[in-house]
Each structure stands twice: as structure tokens, then as C-alpha cells.
Structure 1
Amino acid sequence: MTENTSNETGHTEADTESVDFDLDIADLSSFTGDCAIVSFDADGRITAWNGGARRLTGYDAETIVGSHYRTVFPQDDRDDGRPERLLERARSDGTAETDGWRVRSDGSRFWAREVIAAVREGSEVGVPVDRSDADLRGYVWVVHDRTEEHERIRELREEKAFAEHVFEAQPDIVYAFDATGNHLEWNDQLPAVTGYAESELAEMAPLEFIAPDDRDRIAAAIQRVLEEDEYVTAEADLLTKDGRRIPYEFNSARITDDDGTVLGFTGTGRDISEREARERALREEKALTESILQAQPDVLYAYDSEGNLVQWNDQFERATGHDSDELSGMNPLQFIAPEDRDHIRDAIDRILEEGERVTAEGHVLTSDGRRIPYEFNSARITDDDGTVLGFTGVGRDIRERKARERELERLERLNAVIRTIDETMVAADTRDEIETAIVREFASADAYRFAVIGRTDTAAATDGDAWEPVAWAGIDAQSTPVLSSFVDPPADADGASVLETRTVQRYRSLGESPVETWRHHANEREYDSVAVVPVVASDRSLGALVIAADEPSAFADREREVLQEFGGTIGHAINAMTLRRLLYQDTVIELEFESTDRGDACTRLSDELGCALSIDHVLPLTDGVFVYYITVSDADPERVREVARDDDAFTELRLIEADDESYWECVVRGSAITDHLADYGARLQSQTIHDGVADMTVQVSPNADLRGLVNRITSAYPDSRLRSKQTVERPVETRGDFRRTVESMLTDKQRTALEAAYHGGYFEWPTRNSDASEVADRLGIARQTFHQHLRVAQAKLLSAYFDSSD
């Protein structure tokens, strides 16, 4: 036999040869029929291909002869070596029978039932290797297409598995009885519910599961299933083994064979305890609903198609003021205020003619002439034939909702006014500008009548904490006495001074106020409510803003909250403006204080160490927590660390530098002088402490509340005193001055490194446009040299900025 070196689907010269087994096809009759018969050589390559094989696989003999047996296997079987194992089994056992998926020439698959028989010398077919010494000449492969049978079996198995899973997964009881009442089948739910063992269930008749008083009815239902009706539903109490009765609904159907012979019946039993409980609950709910309808706070009504009132609840009578004799037959528009009747009439037409569910608002006109805003939700009434019988609905008193809507509208307008004022305050250069902008914006808003703002600090007031108006709009200055009485109300008024409470005070319905002055002024100037807003910075009162509105119910709770926050915003804006002016003024007030107050942590530290100490910078972290940067002279660093560790105010201590002096970073809890200065727009210029005696220099704007500032410091630190006060001129450094200062500090190489890094995108974050190596290459220097120049340049730049800010 010529060796064939073809691949699995190739065609070689050996394809024209075939292995002549000298077989009589009749000898293979046990393998034939409607099938393909193919011969292989001893290596499993195809040597003959009949018409049945071509019809079954789609391969022509010219294409397939010479290919290996594995050609017709799916790829995963080929990778697994299954074709070779089948050939080996046929060689060893004489025959190999199997079934599985095979592949046609077009890639489609079919389910094959196949037999491979070994053919040995002397035309021995199917003889095991241990019963013949003859050499293997090849194989005969007989293949049957069993795809349709395989699919039918698979579908039947799936259908059976599905039915079994459904049967067992059914939460209801499932049962089957034959025509004589013998129990044929049941699911696990039946023994679980009834408590009977499987052996007991097999002997039980259907009526044994039924409570005695229901058995006759269930027996009749079973008879109907078997003789008359194919499907019957009946309710009865299921009787468990321990005597409990459970309400059940049984749905049963007849079982027949193909000839229509009745074999029995099957069905399901469903526990309807919950359903019966729901039905009882519904009946109770119906009774409850009927009682609720009468207790309903909303108006309920029903009109016929002619517009006659036919049904209503008690609230309808209470709301309209009419009694039941008057209401019967009244037209719906008789209850509506004249100005709303047209659109209510249109709504009724849409309900009756188009079947819309309609929501409409209108004022109910009561018997005594009052108008009350109502929302009506109505729908058409029809009978089972669709005939329009009328309409029904609910009417809800919406006075509170209307009030809330007005409140939200006022709140939106208030926020719009505040946003405009905020923009002005950011750009203002003086306190006068801020105050003028505030009253002007409020007075020009539709929601408000006028606004007046006054101060209580010593810069504007002459009588301690008295309130003195400084800006007004929408009203004249002659009203000052009345407006002052709102800020600090008289004894017979229901209110408190905002200068003391520092919370917004409101006065409403002033046209009916018991305070004669307020009532007369409000009626004369056509306003009906007032809000007094404290202007506060930190814990210090700067004044108050008086706002008037024409609505008697203005300044509701949410509006008051916004105004309370706005008063703080004004105070902070005034402080920020004061500090901003201080930064740019060429004339400032310098206050020098001397203090031995041990309430200050640094003063205690200097006193304990007997050393000189300077506070170089104070950085606030959170409320009551500060970072101090201090320089200590004439004290050993270890001694500094020991004394600070024993002081609870020092929570962290880090030595930054130690030489002749030691430079420290300290985290301190407690009061800090800078915290008090910020409320007055002041800045700590310097603070040094020698042996527990502190000298502080504070700079403040000439327009600031100097008396208040001094009182604040001496109150916070009682063992302190103001030693001197002087006006000093200070040079104003321009942007150009600062730039020249920085340039004078930098060498050419440092400046070049800084500029290249900045313009080259080295400082971009989070993604740099250039790294250090790229910038260094551009400058023609080493990366380490670039880093050295850049770091020194940055240090000089920051030193110039922070030294200048100090």
C-alpha cells in the first residue's frame, strides 16, 4: 500500500488507489440500510466513498478520498484525539460503536450513529485482535444519520425535565387520582402541608383530605370532572393529619388517553388563607372607607349629567355654609366665585364630553360671601355600557399651599436680590458703597417697600451701641425714630433687640399692630411687615438692616433663615473690605501692646524658659487650632521641647533649624491674637516676648473700630495694656516693585531655569507638559543642575512674597 502524505482534506496521488478488502457487501448487511458505508486504510485514511456517504456529508469522493477519518469530526473532538481513540478501539475490539456530532462539508453538523469494524487479512471483519493473528488491512465505517431522532429525544428529555421541575417547584399542592380514586401522583408540597407520610398518601382517597362538612360538595365536583366538565374549581377546607383545617381552592381537570377514555383527574390545591384574609380586610376596608369619606377633610361631591348635586359629604356642607336641604340639586357653578366660573364651566364640559380627568383651581363662594381657593380633581361617571351618568371629584382647600407658593416666590426673589448685592460687595472699596448697594437693591425689588441700614460701631455712632441709620432707599430720613424702634422695640411690642439677640426679628400685620406708632406709620407708608437683620462679623455686632414688605405674611421662617445668613455675609464683607484697604493704604494706625498674660501659650513658654521668643507667623488650621512658627533665643532646644511637652496647649512640636537660635513649628490649641484681629480687619505686624513680657505691634485701618479692637484684646488677655497708638506712613509696594525685588534676588541661571520651567509647562497639574529632563535638555544643562537652580529660585521667590506680606 502506497504511503499517503496528504493533509486531512487534501487530494494526492494516492487518492486514486483504494484498499481492496475483497469484501462481499452482503456480509456487512448488519451495518447497512439507509446509511453511508466507507472504507479506511490501516492509518484511518478514506479509501472508498459511496453515494450514501456523499448524500450524508456533502463531500464528493474526489474531495474526501485520501483524507483522514478525523475530517468529519468537530474541532474540539479532533483536538481531544477522539477519532484516533475510536480507531484504536475498533482495532483492539474488532468493532467500535458510538454516536456523536459530525461535520458536513458546508460546516453544518449532524448526529451520527456509527460502527467502525476492523478488516484483517483473509477478509476477517470485526474480529478482535486477541482472536486473530491476521494483519490489519483497514476499517469499514458504517454511518446512520440520527439527527432528527436525537433532537426528538433531547426535546422529550428537556420537556420531561421541565415538567418535573415545574411539578416539584410548584408552591401549590399537585395531585393526580385515577378514575376509581386511587392516588397516583403528588408533589412534595402535599406531605409538607398535610403532615402525612408518603406511604400513607399512597393509600388515601381524595375525600380523606377534605373536612367532613365539605366532602359532599367536593365529591360532586369530582363527579363533574369525570363525567361532565373538563375543568372544575371548588373551595373547601383541607384537613391535615393533626386535625387543622386550612381553606383551599382546588382546580381539577380530567385525564384522558388518545381515545378519549377517562383515566382520572389531576389538579392543584392552593392555600387561600391569605386571600380570605384579604377579602375580609377588603370588606372591613370598605366599611372603614365609607366612614372615612364622611370624616374626610376635603370636599367630596357627585353631580349627574344635568349638573344637579346628587351626593356630597359633611365637609361639603361645612365648607360652603349651606345645609343639606339647600345643597340638593344645586348647580356646581353656584359654589364658584364669578371670576372663576368660565374656566370651571370649560373643565366640566371636558369631563362630560371628552372623558378627561381634570384638575382645576377656583375660589369657592361660601354662603356668607367669603372666597376660599380650592383645587378640584374630577372624573366622569359611566355605567357598564359607557353611558355618561355625571361626574364626581374632590375639592381641596389650598390656602396653605398658596401661602407656601407665595413664600417660595418671595424666597426666590430674595435670593435674586442677595446675589446682585453679593456681586456688588465683592467689588466695593468702602463700607459706604456696600451699605448703599444693599438698601438700593432691596428698595428696587418688587417684593419690598423700603430698606434702611444703620451702624452701631464707634465710627458712626455717638451713643455707645445705639443704632444710627447711614443709608436708606424707598423712605426718607424723617422715619428714623420709628425704624429705630424696630431695632430696639418698646416694652409693649412682642419682640427683642437684634443688637442683643443677634437674630432676625420680624413684625407682621403691622396695619393691625397694638403698637400705635407702628400701626400709624405702616398705614401711612403702605407696608405691612418688617424684618430687622443683624449685621454681625464673628461675634461682633456691626449694625442692623431694616427691610419692609407690603404683604402682612412676609418674612416666613425660611426667608428669615436666609436673611440671618445674609447679615453674616454683610459683616464678613465689611471686614474683608477693611482688611483689603489696610493692605493698600499708605497710612495706617499702629497699636503697641504690652502683655504678661499667661493665657497666651507663647508667653508662658518664654516665662518658663527665661528666654527671648519671636512669633514669625501664625497659620490657622481649624477653630481653636493654630500653627505657630517661632524663633527661640537663649534656650537649649531640648529644654524648649521639655517645657512645651508639659504645656497642654502645645499638641505638636517640630524643630526645623537649630544654630545660635532654634526655629520651631508648633501646633497650639486655644486663643490666638490673630483670631481677634481678623474681626476688625487688623494685622499682627510683630510679636516678641522677653522673659514672659510680650510686645505686640498691630496695624489697623484708620477707619476701623479702634476702641472695640482694644477692648477685644484686653478682654481676651486681661494682663495686657495699650502702650501707644500712632499713625505711620508706609511705602506702598507696586507690582513692578515686587517684580524688581525678585529679579534682584535671582541669578541669571536661576531666572532662566524658572522661566523655562514655567513657560515650558513643567508646573502644569495633574499632567505635566514637560518633565525636568526635557527642560534641562532645552537649556543644555544637566538635570541635577536644573533642579538645583529651580529649587533656589523658588525659595527666593517665596521668601520675597512672604516677607513682603508680613
Structure 2
Amino acid sequence: MEGDTPTDLLIIETGEKSHLRPQIEESDWSVAETAVAELESALARCDPTAVVIELEHPERVRDCLERIHESGTQVTVVAPPTGSEAVAAAALRGGATEYAPLECEDAVERVSDAVATGVDPTAEQDGDDDEAPSYHRIIANELPDEAFVVDEDGTYLEAKVRPESADLYTVSADELIGSRLTEAFPQDVADRLRACLERAIETGEVQSIEYAAETTGGTRQFEARVVPTAERIDGRRAVVWLARDITERVRRERELRSRQTELETLNRINAVGQQVIETLVEMPGQNAIERDVCAQLVDSELYCGSCIAELGPDGELVYRTGEGEATTYLGRIREMGLDGECPTRWAAQSADVETVTHVLETEPLPDPLQSAAREDDVGAVISVPIKHEDTTYGVLTVLSGREDAFSDNEEEAFALFGEIIGFTIMSIRNRQLLFSDSIVELEFRIDGGDTFSFDLTERYDCTCSLEWTGTTTSGQTFQYVTVEGLDGTTVLEEAADHESVETCRLIHDGGDQCTIEMRLERSGVRTLSNHGVTIRDVSVEGGVGTCLVEVSPDADVREIADALGSIYENTELVARRTVDRAVQTAAERRKRILDELTDRQLTTIRLAYYGGYFEWPRQSTGEEIAEAMDVSAPTMHQHLRKGLKTILGEFFEDGGGTYR
């Protein structure tokens, strides 16, 4: 562009190639390109009749319009690549002649018409838009979902709605004109909208507000930009109300916040579980860890109460400990006893997690608890069995003020938390027994059990003795049993037809004595182990069993008897003895093992150990160990097996005797 040459048209672009130049360029127009920062110098060098602004940033549009009007240019067209309420509001506030987003099909034609009017005031125009106020054209060209002109009294002067949104409205846009905000909205919403309208008029600044509106499709959320007009309408001040339906956005934001809250909740639940594990070695007993769990849950500020209870031998609910501000609800559980239903009892009976939500809305609890929940503002309840494998140690009940607490993920986290506590309690009981200076021996008589050993000894004149029982990492229970007085073939045939035995394998058959491996559906021996019991001996003869166990002095004997009675109906405690444990040092135990080994066995084990026979891969073969001993390979393996059996027997039989 040259010096002072008059220019009819000036296009202010985004910095990229103009969207307009190839389409509206005319021989009598000179097109100039400039950035916003160079606008003033461009206006000083030329005297344009019309200016077209292709910028998208609302603040830059307003700034440009202000400078252009100061220069005296009459025609200004805002034509951003894409339209938005913010840019439309900026065009309106800046007094633009026309607003024509280039994404519209007729954008170029509208820009050309507006520029042509400025160049040739006698140019013909269709309709009356040239006489209409600027806000009228902006409403017509920038219609998000709904747009209105509302005067200072809150009366609708104009209303336009997108065709695809019109079906949601209970009245048409035309019927809305002349009505007031108080007629279109509930009083509380109308008051908020009226306050926003007045604020926009008083400050002369664009205001934003979010609000809900009832439609035929339900409640929808809207976001509005309220733009005060420079022009008065019938002598009254007014605003242009540009609104967009943000229902889906609000829903996504709400879901995101919900997921974030849930994630924070799960993290805090896991943190409590981690704390329980970390303090395991510090806890003196089960009571201490239960008090600590309840206190930590309440201290997390996620929950208003927590307690631990259990079912007593007669079915009564026994309250053990609790924490929190929901004292009325916790007191109801404490007082429940034999009477009354509640999630705590349901969880204890089913051994499954029980969850009740929206307590104050749906009133799903029995009357005494429902009244307590209302008094304490308890919105949701979860009751979680504290268990390890098939043994339940109690029920943890947690109360929340959140109506929608305990989602599926939170419920899963609490189920895992219950198992963590159960494992911790089992570990504490075992530790108490292991380090106790004295022990209590309990002898039970089991009359007429319905498991395989009882049925086998009733049918045949034989005796079954338990060698070892345990559970694999996959949860399968195995027993190794020696049967005296019966051959292995008969035992296998009987086991194959017994419903309590899943699989049976013959380990040794000596004619009138055999050893078998059984995989069972359930095991009373395993149940006792989970209660911190060391089982010394179990034998069955003539359909009657004898079970000798060891427990720590502070163990709950009645609980152990009830646990065994849950598997075998006719169970009787026939003896209880306190026995002092003999203290044996590690050196004494090592000497006893060495005394039981022969010289050949000890030499073989030492050569195999130091020669790397037990490494993987092996550093010495069996043949190399045999050559070093100057014996045959079979002889070396015989000495090795016998020696290892002697050492392992010290731990699994005479020295340990523990079935776990």
C-alpha cells in the first residue's frame, strides 16, 4: 500500500492468508494486510471507507473496533473464521456494523454487502437490516442455541432459537416475547438472572451466568453471556442474552469430578489398609488393631462412623469397638443383641459385603436404625466381613454422610480391606502362639462327622491319622492321611465316591497300611488354623475323632470350639491343659539334628551343598558328588534323601508338629 493513497477497504487478518481477499477483491478496492499492533499506523496512512476484521480473539476485536471508530471509519465488519458468543459479544459492544462468521455459507456475501453499503450509500439492500439496530443483526448472525433481547425490567423484546433446539421449549420464541423472566423461570432462578441483567447494565460490562431451565426433554443447563446494548429500545436500556446449552458439558464435568472424588476415596481407603499392614508388628493383639482401623477410617474425614461387631454363639450381635460422630447409629448397633435386622447382621450371616445407599431418601433400613440414621445424617452404610479364607472374625460397618457413597469400586476396595484385616488378625494370633512362653492344650472329641475319614472308619475296621494339611496359593485344601488296617485300592475306591473329596492320590500302599493325598471341598483343620491354632494330632477311629490342638493363653476357647462346631456338629471339649514350653536354643536344635544324621548322610549333604548341587543350574552333578565320595550314584542319592528327610522331619514332625 502506498503512502497517502485513499483506500476503500482494509482487511485485518490473523496473520495467515486472508479468507476474504480472493472472493471480495474489486478493481476499485485496495486491500491492505496488517496485524493488530500495526492498525493505528495503517489507519494513519490510509482513509478506508470500510474495515473487515478477521480476528478471533474477543479482546483484540474490541480493541480494533475502538481504534477504528476513533479514526472516523463508519463501516466495520467482524468476520472471524469461526463464530462464538464471546466474539459476537465483542462485536456488539464495539459497535460493529456487521458480524458474519466465515464458517457460514453466506458470510462472503454479507461482508460484501456491508462493505458495498459503506462504499456506495445508494446501494440497494434487501430487507430492513440497514435500518435495524446493530444488536438485531448480531442476534440474527450469531445464534448459539438461544438468543434474546431483554429490557431492564426483565421483559423479552426479541427471541430466537435454533430450529434443532425449538422442540425442547414449552412455548415458542414468538410467544415468549412480551413475557418476563419471572414468568419463564422459577422465582429463585429468575432472581439470579435479573441480578445478572442489572449488573450488566449498571457496569456496562459483559456478564456470564449459568442456570437451569425446564424443557420438554427435562432439566437442561445453560451458560449465557449478557451483553448490554449501547442503544436504548423505546427509551429503555436492554441487553442481548446469548445462551448455549451446556448440559452435556456439565454432565461430563460432574462425572469427572465424581471419578476424581472416587479415586481420592479409594486412595485413602488403600492408605488406611497400608497403614494397618505397616503397623502389624506393633499391634499387641486383635483388639488393638480393630480400634486402630475404626479410628483411622473416621480420621480420614470420609466417614462419620465405623464399628466392628460379630455374631455370638446364640446369634446375638456382639459390639466390639467403634469410633465416630454418628453416636446414635453406633449405639443402636451396640444395643441390638438378638433382636433386629441391620446390614451388620446381614453381612455376618452371608459373609458378603452389604451396602445400603441413599438412606435418607429411600429409607431402606429397619425403623430403629432409620431414625438413628436421620438423626446422625447417615447417607450410606457398608458392612464388610473381616475374614481370611473361610474364617470370619467379625464385621466392619462404616457410615458415610454421602448419599451416593460406596460405589462398585469403593465396595471392592472395602472387600479387599476386610480381607487385609482378616489376614492381619490371623497373623497376630499365630504370632501370639509362636512367642508364648506357655501354651494351652485343647482336646476335642468329634462324634459322627460327615467327612471321608469318619465314614471310612465307620465302614471298615481302620484308623485314619492326619499327617499334614494345607492350602495352596490357589485356595485348594490338601490333606495327607495315613490309613491303618486297609489297603490303598479300597481307600481310593471309597474316596472316589465320597462327595467331600474332590481328588485322591495314593502316595504309599503297604497292604494293610497306606498314605493318601486328598483335595477337599472344606476342612475343619484349616478352619482351626485360621484361628491361630496349632494342631498337634488328629485321628479318627470307629467314626469318632480326636483333635489335639495348642492355643495361646489369651485365646478365646469358646470361639475355637464354635469354629470347629461349624464344621462338625457333635463337638465336645474334653480336656484343657496349660503347658510350659521348653526353651531350646538354635545351637541345641542344630546339635540334635546332627546327632540324628549318620556320618555318610552328613558327608553327602555337605558335599552336595558346598559343591553347588542345590544351585540352579547345578554346579555339580550327582555322579560328581558320588565320585568324590567313592560310591555309586544310587548310593549317594540314598544317603542324600535319608539325610534331607531327617532334617525336614525336625521341622515338620517332632520339632514342629504344626498343620497349616
Report the TM-score range of the alignment, normalised by the length of the smaller protein. Answer: 0.5 to 0.7
**Unpaired stretches in structure 2, ≥5 consecutive residues:** 1-82, 90-137, 146-161, 179-191, 200-205, 225-241
Find 1:601's aligned residue among 452, 476, 494. Answer: 452
CA distance in 1, matches of 2:379, 2:570: 51
Find 1:499's aligned residue among 341, 348, 354. Answer: 348
CA distance in 1, matches of 2:477, 2:490: 24
Deviates more, 1:646-655 or 1:540-549: 646-655
CA distance in 2, matches of 1:747, 1:337: 100
Q: What is the match of residue 630 of structure 1?
A: 482
Residue 616 of structure 2 is aligned to residue 761 of structure 1:
no
Deviations 1:210-263 (A, max 9, x none): xxxxxxxxxxxxxxxxxxxxxxxxxxxxxxxxxxxxxxxxxxxxxxxxxxxxxx
1:605 shift after superposition:
2.2
1:608 shift after superposition:
2.6
Is the 1:588–1:700 contact (alpha carbons within 8 Å) kept by the matching residues of 2?
A: yes
1:692 shift after superposition:
3.6
Aligned residues: 452
**SS across alignment from 1:306:** helix
Q: What is the match of residue 453 of structure 1?
A: 307
**SS across alignment from 1:761:** coil
Residue 456 of structure 2 is aligned to residue 584 of structure 1:
no
1:802 shift after superposition:
0.9
**In the alignment, residue 331 of structure 2 is paired with which amino acid?**
P
Find 2:465's aligned residue among 608, 614, 618. Answer: 614
CA distance in 1, matches of 2:477, 2:349: 29
| CA spacing shift, 1:466–1:637, aligned 2, 3 Å | closer
Q: What is the match of residue 594 of structure 2?
A: 743
Is the 1:688–1:695 contact (alpha carbons within 8 Å) kept by the matching residues of 2?
A: yes
1:703 shift after superposition:
3.8
**In the alignment, residue 266 of structure 2 is paired with which amino acid?**
L
CA distance in 1, matches of 2:195, 2:287: 52
1:431 shift after superposition:
1.0
Is the 2:476–2:520 contact (alpha carbons within 8 Å) kept by the matching residues of 1?
A: yes
1:602 shift after superposition:
1.8
Q: What is the match of residue 306 of structure 1?
A: 88
Find 2:267's aligned residue among 388, 412, 415. Answer: 412
Is the 1:595–1:694 contact (alpha carbons within 8 Å) kept by the matching residues of 2?
A: yes
1:410 shift after superposition:
2.0
CA distance in 2, matches of 1:375, 1:487: 55
CA distance in 1, matches of 2:195, 2:590: 76
**In the alignment, residue 452 of structure 1 is paired with which amino acid?**
S
Residue 425 of structure 2 is aligned to residue 570 of structure 1:
no
**In the alignment, residue 88 of structure 2 is paired with which amino acid?**
E
| CA spacing shift, 1:688–1:427, aligned 2, 3 Å | same
> Mapping of 1:331-350 within 5 angstroms?
none
Q: What is the match of residue 229 of structure 2?
A: none
CA distance in 2, matches of 1:375, 1:401: 19
1:408 shift after superposition:
2.9
> Mapping of 1:103-114 within 5 angstroms?
none
CA distance in 2, matches of 1:401, 1:486: 40
1:655 shift after superposition:
5.6
CA distance in 2, matches of 1:732, 1:336: 87
| CA spacing shift, 1:435–1:716, aligned 2, 3 Å | closer
**In the alignment, residue 640 of structure 2 is paired with which amino acid?**
L
Deviations 1:247-282 (A, max 9, x none): xxxxxxxxxxxxxxxxxxxxxxxxxxxxxxxxxxxx
CA distance in 2, matches of 1:317, 1:642: 80
Q: What is the match of residue 421 of structure 1?
A: 276
CA distance in 2, matches of 1:363, 1:708: 64
Q: What is the match of residue 139 of structure 1?
A: none
| CA spacing shift, 1:496–1:733, aligned 2, 3 Å | same
> Mapping of 1:188-203 within 5 angstroms?
none
Is the 1:487–1:499 contact (alpha carbons within 8 Å) kept by the matching residues of 2?
A: no
Residue 298 of structure 2 is aligned to residue 443 of structure 1:
yes
> Mapping of 1:14-25 within 5 angstroms?
none
Is the 1:536–1:568 contact (alpha carbons within 8 Å) kept by the matching residues of 2?
A: yes
Residue 213 of structure 2 is aligned to residue 364 of structure 1:
no
Q: What is the match of residue 575 of structure 2?
A: 724
1:801 shift after superposition:
1.5
Is the 2:468–2:481 contact (alpha carbons within 8 Å) kept by the matching residues of 1?
A: yes
**In the alignment, residue 518 of structure 1 is paired with which amino acid?**
A
**In the alignment, residue 408 of structure 2 is paired with which amino acid?**
D
Deviations 1:571-609 (A, max 9, x none): 233233323433333433333233341523223322333
**SS across alignment from 1:805:** coil
Q: What is the match of residue 481 of structure 1?
A: 331
CA distance in 1, matches of 2:381, 2:640: 62
Is the 2:212–2:221 contact (alpha carbons within 8 Å) kept by the matching residues of 1?
A: no
CA distance in 1, matches of 2:166, 2:299: 46
CA distance in 1, matches of 2:327, 2:434: 35
CA distance in 2, matches of 1:685, 1:787: 32
**Unpaired stretches in structure 1, ≥5 consecutive residues:** 1-300, 329-333, 342-347, 349-361, 377-390
CA distance in 2, matches of 1:669, 1:678: 16
CA distance in 2, matches of 1:719, 1:795: 38
Find 1:791's aligned residue among 616, 641, 651. Answer: 641
CA distance in 2, matches of 1:637, 1:758: 37
Is the 2:449–2:569 contact (alpha carbons within 8 Å) kept by the matching residues of 1?
A: no
Is the 2:536–2:549 contact (alpha carbons within 8 Å) kept by the matching residues of 1?
A: yes
Q: What is the match of residue 19 of structure 1?
A: none
- Considering only CA atoms, is the larger Rg found in Structure 1 or Structure 2? 1
1:559 shift after superposition:
0.8
**SS across alignment from 1:406:** helix
1:610 shift after superposition:
1.7
Q: Normalising by structure 2, what TM-score? A: 0.55
1:671 shift after superposition:
4.6
Is the 2:531–2:560 contact (alpha carbons within 8 Å) kept by the matching residues of 1?
A: yes
Find 2:621's aligned residue among 760, 771, 785. Answer: 771
Q: What is the match of residue 410 of structure 2?
A: 559
**In the alignment, residue 713 of structure 1 is paired with which amino acid?**
L
| CA spacing shift, 1:317–1:557, aligned 2, 3 Å | farther
CA distance in 1, matches of 2:322, 2:532: 22
**In the alignment, residue 647 of structure 2 is paired with which amino acid?**
L
Question: Percent identity at matched positions?
Answer: 23
Deviations 1:468-492 (A, max 9, x none): 24253x559898415648999978x
**SS across alignment from 2:260:** helix
Q: What is the match of residue 543 of structure 1?
A: 394
**In the alignment, residue 504 of structure 1 is paired with which amino acid?**
E
Deviates more, 1:537-546 or 1:509-518: 509-518
**SS across alignment from 2:279:** helix
| CA spacing shift, 1:318–1:420, aligned 2, 3 Å | farther
- RMSD, aligned CA: 4.9
CA distance in 2, matches of 1:601, 1:696: 16
Q: Work out which structure has the larger RCO, using CA pairs closer than 8 Å and 6 or more positions apart in sequence.
A: 2
CA distance in 1, matches of 2:533, 2:622: 43
**In the alignment, residue 532 of structure 2 is paired with which amino acid?**
G
| CA spacing shift, 1:653–1:424, aligned 2, 3 Å | same
**In the alignment, residue 693 of structure 1 is paired with which amino acid?**
V
Q: What is the match of residue 518 of structure 1?
A: 373
Residue 658 of structure 2 is aligned to residue 658 of structure 1:
no
Q: Normalising by structure 1, what TM-score? A: 0.47
CA distance in 1, matches of 2:177, 2:281: 64
Deviations 1:346-382 (A, max 9, x none): xx9xxxxxxxxxxxxx9723479xx998899xxxxxx
Q: What is the match of residue 103 of structure 1?
A: none
CA distance in 2, matches of 1:754, 1:373: 80
**SS across alignment from 1:467:** strand
CA distance in 1, matches of 2:574, 2:507: 33
1:630 shift after superposition:
0.6
CA distance in 2, matches of 1:578, 1:639: 40
